[in-house]
Amino acid sequence: MHKVILVTGAAQRLGAQIARTLHAAGYCVVIHHHHSQHAAQALVKQLNQQRANTALALRADLGDASAIAPLIAAAAAHWGRLDGLVNNAAVFRATPVAQASAADWADIFDINLRAPFLLSQAALPWLDQAGGTIVNLTDIYAERSKAGFPLYCAAKAGLAGLTRALAQELAPTIRVNAVAPGAILWPEEGDLTEQNRLLTRTPLGRRGEPQDIAEAVLYLIGAAFVTGQTIAVDGGRSVKG
């Protein structure tokens, strides 16, 4: 039986590319989605046409703590195992200090930090049995703050800390690592001036591609002697002052 990986927020964009890359490497993939049902089903159909019964779509609202254990149970039940968890789902939006609300805090922290913890917790029995792995998607803004996004930065910094803490506590059976993307996919309403400014501060001088992140996740899924680490996939931006 092929190993099974659950990828959250995998219907579109970066998560979909992670799922495609893992599937191409021989894994069975569980594609979690919330609102993007049609995109998730289309991706599952495409992957199952390539290899029958190797992809599954599951819907869950990760902002609802009660939905998380059933999501893990359903993911593990389909093939009778769960070998890996990729915590990709995230909320990214501006929350300037003067305008940020308690609802903003709850929404951003629930998805970006609480959900990865609860998913990891619920998956423990399966991952322990499989000698499995967790890969969290953090951000270079976990270390290098972005003005106007204090809640997002704080949540991702918390996820980076959670990665290290879980790696220590769950060893030696379960490995926990993270990938910190830099400029990969611009927001649809992105500012071109800001985007160009970021590229001038990136040593490689260009935006990355979703495949760059997906390949880093694939590496960490299989890296048997790596735990507690964060790989910055950012074109060198994190090393430039």
**Hey, CA dihedral for 57, 175, 121, 15, is it positive or negative?**
negative
Q: Quick check: is 219 catalytic?
A: no
Q: Where are the alpha helices (DSSP H) in 110-237?
A: 115-130, 150-170, 192-200, 210-222
- What three-state secondary structure class fits 174? coil
Task: Show the tokens assigned to 137.
Answer: 């998607």
Q: Are 227 and 175 in contact (CB under 8 A)?
A: yes
Q: For residue 28, which of 65, 58, 2 has the smallest C-alpha distance?
A: 2
Q: Are 229 and 166 in contact (CB under 8 A)?
A: no
Cα separation, 112 vs 29, whole angstroms? 21
The phi and psi torsions of 175 (rounded to 5 degrees) equal -95, 145
Which residue is catalytic, options 27, 141, 152, 219?
A: 152
Residue positions annotated with a catalytic role: 152
